[in-house]
Structure 1
C-alpha cells in the first residue's frame, strides 16, 4: 500500500508489497498492524481498492464514513473504493486485538460475473454484517482457503524453479480469482441488514444505474426528476426501484449522498463551511446549514468541531 497524505486523511492506493503482480493481497489483521506505524494506523484512511475483512475472534470498533461498527467473531466488513475508515480499535484507542483475515483487491481482479459486479458496484450496500454461525463457518472456510492459496503463490514466486513454477503461479492466480468470485457470490446471497435482498429485486438495474449517476452528479443536482430523465424512466419508477433495493426513496438516497460528502469535507479539509456548501450546489450558506442539520442532526460547525 502507498500512502499519500492530505490534511488528516490518508489516501492509500493498491500496491501489493509481495510484488506478486496480482490484484489481490490476503493478510491477517496482525500483519497489517505490524506494517503500519502507530500514528498512521490511528488516522482515517481512504482506499482506492476493495477491502473485505472477516473477524474470527477478538473485539473492537471500526468507523466507516462516520458510522461506528462493532467488530467481533462473525463480523464481515466490506469497504469500497472512496470510503473513509478508521481501522478497528479497542477501548484504549490502539488498534484492536483481532483474529481477522483481510482481502485487499482491485475492482478488476474478481471474475466479471453479474453477481460479483452488483456486490462490488452496489453503492450504498451494507458495510458491516454479522454472520450467523452457519454462514460464518462457510465464509471462514472460504477465506482460509484463499489465505492458503495466496501463501502458496508467494512461495512459488520466491522459488528458484523456472517455467513450471511460472505456470503454477498463473494457475494459482486464476484460482484466487475464482475463489474471490465465489466469496462475492456468497455475499450477494446474504440478505440486506434492513431486510431488503441484495440482488434480484425489481428495478435492480435502474437502482444501480441511479447510484452510478448519483456518484457523478450529486454535487450538481439533487432533483429526482433530473436523475429519472437521465436514466430514461419516470420519477415514480426510479423511486420504486430505490425503495425495493434499499427501503429508501430516491430523494432520501440523493440527500444522504450529499450529506456524506459534506461530512467528509467538513472533517477532512479546512474549507470554509460556505465554500463546502457552494461546492455541493447550495447558493446560500444558510440553506446548506439547514440541509446539513436536517440530515445529520447537528449544524456543520458543531459536526466539524466534534470530528476535530
Structure 2
C-alpha cells in the first residue's frame, strides 16, 4: 500500500493487484487478499476505495481503530488512507476496489455510503446479487477493454442502491451547519499537515471562528479545534500502527518539528504516548482513538489521507 507523505515510508501492503488505468480500474477479490500477513498482526493502510461484503462467518473489523462486529450481511465502506484490520476473524467476504477516477462522469456520490451497514431482508438479497454479478463479470471479462464500461455502471448502481438505504441520522442538525461542517472537513483534509489553527480554516472558508465552532458543536458535540486536532491524531495513529516510520519522522510530517511537542500532543489526544500506542499495535483491539462521528450524510474527517 502507499502512504501519501513527502517521502515514501514502509507500510503494510495488501495482496490486492495493482490498480492501473484501463480495464483494471475496478477489481474484485476476497478478504484474504487484503491481509498483508496471516493473522493481521497490524493494520494496513488502504490505497484505494473498498466495499467489503461479509458472506460467511463472524469476526471483528477495525476501521480506523473502531471495532465493527462482522457477520453475514455486514457491509464495510473504506476509503484510501484509512487503517483496516480484521481481528480474530473467521470470515469470508467479497471485496470490490476501484480507482478514484472509475466513476468519473457518472451521477453517483460514493461518499454517501455509510462506513458500516448490517444488511437484512430484501436489501441484503439485492446487494449480494449485484456484488456477485460484478465479481463474476470482473473475472470473466478481465482482459476485455470494452468491459470497463459495464463494470463502471455496475459499481455505480451498487453504490446508488446503498446510498438510498435508510439509515439513522445524528439528530436534527440544521442544514446550514451541516454544510459548514462538511466544508471544514474538506479544508482540514487539505491542510491538517500545515496548520491546526481554527483561524486559518475560517479565513479560507470566508467565515468566522464562531461559525465553525457552532457548526462543529451542532454536528459532533465538539469544538472546531477538537475536530482539527482529532484529524491530526487519527493520521498519527494510522502511521504509527501501519508503518515503520520513526516517531520523530511522523511528528515532523504532521507539523511537529520537535518530538517532545508531538509526544505531548498525541498523549493528550489519544491518552497514551506514541511509543505505547505503537507497541500495542499487534495486540487485539489496540488503543482506540475516540473521535466524533460526522453525520451520516457528510464525508468523514480522515476519509482520505
> Quick check: TM above 0.5?
yes
**Aligned partner (choices 93, 97, 104) of residue 104 of structure 1:** 97
1:50 touches 1:107 (CA, 8 Å); kept in 2?
yes
8 Å contact 1:12–1:48 — kept in the other structure? Answer: no
Alignment of 1:232-243 (within 5 A): 232-243=206-217
Aligned counterparts, 1:118-157, within 5 A? 118-119=111-112, 127-131=115-119, 133-134=120-121, 137-152=122-137, 154-156=139-141
What are the superposed Cα offsets for residues 25-50 of structure 1, whole Å, 9 maximum, x if unpaired?
23443xx45x9675596553222211
1:139 Cα offset (Å): 3.9
d(CA) in 2 for partners of 1:249, 1:113: 36
Residue of structure 2 equivalent to 1:271 = 246
Gaps (5+ residues) in structure 1?
91-95, 121-125, 159-164
What does 1:189-208 correspond to in 2, within 5 Å? 189-191=166-168, 195-196=170-171, 201-208=175-182
| TM-score (structure 1 length as normaliser) | 0.72
Residues 230-273 of structure 1, C-alpha deviations (whole Å, 9 max, x = no match) = 01112222223334444433222111111112223333234244
Q: Give the distance between the partners of 1:244 and 1:12, measured in 2 at CA.
A: 41
Aligned to 2:302: none
C-alpha separation between the residues in 2 aligned to 1:250 and 1:114? Answer: 31
Counterpart of 1:307 in structure 2 is: 281
Indicate the larger mover: 207-216 or 108-117. 108-117
Rate the CA distance shift 1:261–1:175 in 2: closer, same or farther, 3 A: closer
Name the SS for the 2:102 alignment partner.
Answer: coil
The CA RMSD over aligned residues, in Å, is 3.8
Are 1:22 and 1:173, in contact at CA under 8 Å, matched by a contact in 2?
Answer: no
What is the Cα deviation at residue 80 of structure 1? 0.3
8 Å CA contact 2:12–2:36 kept in 1: the answer is no
User: Which structure has more RCO (C-alpha within 8 Å, separation ≥ 6)?
Assistant: 2
Equivalent in 220, 235, 240 of residue 194 of structure 2: 220
The secondary structure found in structure 1 opposite 2:176 is: coil
How many residue pairs align between the two structures? 277
* Alpha-carbon distance in 1 for matches of 2:247, 2:140: 51
Change (3 A) 1:256 1:129: farther
1:68 to 1:170, Cα distance in 2 relative to 1, 3 A: closer
- Residue pair 1:58, 1:97 contacting (<8 A) in 2 also: yes
Indicate conservation of the 8 Å contact 2:55/2:92, yes or no.
yes
Give the Cα separation in 1 of the matches to 2:36 and 2:200. 46
Secondary structure at 2:100's aligned position in 1? coil
Which structure's CA Rg is the greater one?
A: 1
Shift in alpha-carbon separation, 1:211–1:237, aligned structure 2, 3 A: same
Which residue in 2 is equivalent to 1:62? 61
Q: Could you say if the C-alpha distance between residues 155 and 130 of structure 1 is closer, same or farther in structure 2, counting changes exceeding 3 Å?
A: closer
Shift of residue 210 of structure 1?
1.6
Q: Name the CA distance, whole Å, in 2 between partners of 1:110 and 1:244.
A: 32
Structure 2 gap ranges (5+): 3-7, 283-305
Partner residue, 1:172: 150
